[in-house]
Amino acid sequence: MSSKFVRGFYVVGCNHAGFRPPFYKSLGLWQGSINIQLPHDTNESLIVPRERRAGLDPIDLRGNQDFLIRACRLKGAEGYQVLPIDKTTNKPTGHHASKIIEIALKIRIDIKPNDDLVVELLGFDG
């Protein structure tokens, strides 16, 4: 398996991460996520994870959501790219259409809005 790198900048999210403690805990993650705005010409195949996890929390169950995840690293910290999807259509939801990816890490890191960030996405074939 190989990795690919994407570069973008940190944008403040909607603060709905507090509704997902069981989901984050199930993956061993710090509760919360980092939204990274990528260039609009970023290839779709690069930012759609393959591994599926069930939604566990009230916000996910009401929204009929599951998640696609992919292991990643940001500033040396391990975590996952998390992409909400609609259970009935399997289509990405959230900010995906705007080329914003959501990263959740195992530890808290210090970042500020508009920080330039490079994310290593793991688990690509060849």
Residue 7 has pLDDT above 90, yes or no: yes
Residue 27 has pLDDT above 80, yes or no: yes
Residue 19 has pLDDT above 70, yes or no: no
The angle at the Cα of 101, spanning 32 to 20, to the nearest 5 degrees, equals: 30
Domains within the chain, CATH numbers bracketed: 2-124 (2.40.30.30)
Phi/psi of residue 61, nearest 5 degrees = -65, -40
**The overall pTM is greater than 0.95:** no
Q: What confidence tens digit (pLDDT) does each residue in 37-72 have?
A: 999 999 988 899 999 998 877 666 677 889 999 999
* Mean pLDDT in residue range 73-88: 94
Q: Assess contact for 104 and 24: CB atoms under 8 A.
A: yes
Contacts of 54 (CB under 8 A, 6+ apart): 66, 67
3-state SS, residue 73: strand
